[in-house]
Amino acid sequence: MTDIYEDIRSFTGSDWPEVWAILHETFARGDTYSFAPDSSESDIHRAWIDVPLRSYVACDADGRVIGTYFIKPNQPGLGAHVCNCGYVVAPHVRGQGLASLMCAHSQREALALGFRAMQFNFVVASNEGAVRLWRKLGFDIVGRLPGAFKHAQLGYVDALIMFKQLVAA
């Protein structure tokens, strides 16, 4: 997957149809992100592209988009030294390490952008693969929100808050 790592780059407007296809398919399942399964394209464009500070895509050897992530301050002003990211991997390349590569990339970008820490606000507790991955990548579980996510199959499940210092305190 090192080739893919080299192909993580800034999002440009012409990437959107491919990005939207991946996001739509992911959010429609209703098992990992809080976006409503029937979220409109414009709502997701706002959340993934317009609101964030930066958005990125990961491409395969043929230049097709296979993953995407965003980075933004998690709070305004006095909390803006902590960033928040969201990552989505295309279904056909899951389990091959792309989320790890995007997360590593995002941490480098976060430091370059001046952030001191990274926070995930809403990791669905039943998404055990994600929780395990973020822990492996150095994120601590710093909070648990009881029943905060309405899972499409499981009903109300907990969401976790995960946090990693990028700069020594």
Residues that bind a second copy (CB under 8 A): 30, 33-37, 39, 43, 47, 74-82, 116-117, 119, 121-122, 142-152, 156, 159, 161, 163, 165, 169
Nearer to a second copy, 25 or 43 (CB): 43
Whose Cβ is closer to a second copy: residue 60's or residue 72's? 72
DSSP secondary structure code for residue 132 in this structure: H
Residue number with CB closer to a second copy (101 or 157): 157
Residue 57 burial (10 A CB sphere; 0-12, 13-18, 19+): buried
3-state helix, strand, coil in the chain (%, to 5): 35, 35, 30
* Closer by beta carbon to a second copy, 39 or else 100: 39
| Tokens 């997957």, residue located | 1
Residue carrying structure tokens 């902590």: 82
Q: Residue for token digits 């929100």?
A: 145
Q: Min. distance of Cβ 60 from a second copy in angstroms?
A: 30
Q: Please, what is the minimum distance in Å from the beta carbon of residue 166 to a second copy?
A: 11
Provide, rounded to whole angstroms, the least separation between the CB of residue 3 and a second copy.
34
Task: Round to whole Å and give the CA distance between 24 and 142.
Answer: 29
Least Å distance, CB 43 to a second copy, is 8
Nearest to a second copy of 4, 47 (CB atom): 47
Distance of CA 140 to the CA centre of its chain: 16
Nearest distance, CB of residue 168 and a second copy, angstroms = 11
